[in-house]
Structure 1
């Protein structure tokens, strides 16, 4: 299913909300204050849709899937040992040079693993080929 994208105007409006930590056309991240308020009200029995509206977000803009996702994230963080946390969202491959080195190392390990696997496949095919080569091919009498 395609992810519902925000318009530039929707991004601007959500960015102005004090509970928004980060927003782009594809994702939104909330502050700890938002998560604490959301959790408190959720525990009191308010629905996620009502909570979002009261905290200044249009539930229709967010959509049903995001509302469900926000609820899941807040509930998981609320009961986790780490508690609520804000984290900037990064795309894969972005970040520090150390992150890129780790990615390069991971790619190298993956390629080495694939090479070993392919070498094993070649050896297996050689064995099958030599086993068949020892027998005469053709119809049996």
Structure 2
């Protein structure tokens, strides 16, 4: 959350944007649609400020720090978990795991994310092993 609070006028302006789910004095909750638009446009080469502006946001109200933070958060989550990573899961998180059957696309995205995680984990283990060998040689 940002230390910069929104005024009632700014809250009204932001809540009129179709890509805003909710807005309070402290924060903005963006729609899943906007997050997907953001990732798609970012991958096409647009910069975060340009994407926000093209989607009807007033940069002076939202603020550069909020845009930068949201951009970083969504890109890293998308990289790690695919589309599921950028969805707002608060609405459906009751604490119980979902018992619905996953589609092939969802299974594929989850497997890709799991593979990526395992690859990163392997690289970390290789680096640790190499470092341990170096320490043993010094003794």
TM-score, normalisation: structure 1: 0.57
| Aligned-pair CA distance for 1:87 | 4.9
Structure 1: distance between partners of 2:22 and 2:68: 18
The residue that corresponds to 2:88 in the other structure is: 86
Structure 2: distance between partners of 1:23 and 1:36: 19
The answer to whether the Cα contact below 8 Å between 1:77 and 1:85 also exists between their aligned partners in 2 is no
| Aligned-pair CA distance for 1:76 | 2.1
Between the two proteins, the alignment pairs up a number of residues equal to: 90
Q: How does 1:1-141 map to 2 (within 5 A)?
A: 3-81=3-81, 82-87=84-89
Structure 2: distance between partners of 1:44 and 1:57: 19
Runs of 4+ in 1 over 6 A off after TM superposition: none
The residue that corresponds to 1:133 in the other structure is: none
Structure with a larger share of its residues in helix: 2
After superposition, the C-alpha distances for 1:67-114 in whole angstroms (9 at most, x for unaligned) are 11110121123123232212569xxxxxxxxxxxxxxxxxxxxxxxxx
Greater shift in the superposed pair: 72-81 or 38-47: 72-81
The residue that corresponds to 1:96 in the other structure is: none
Aligned-residue CA RMSD (Å): 2.3
| Unmatched segments (≥5 aa) in structure 1 | 90-141
After superposition, the C-alpha distances for 1:29-58 in whole angstroms (9 at most, x for unaligned) are 111100000011111111111110110111
| Unmatched segments (≥5 aa) in structure 2 | 92-139
The answer to whether the Cα contact below 8 Å between 1:22 and 1:88 also exists between their aligned partners in 2 is no
**Which protein has the larger Cα radius of gyration, Structure 1 or Structure 2?**
1
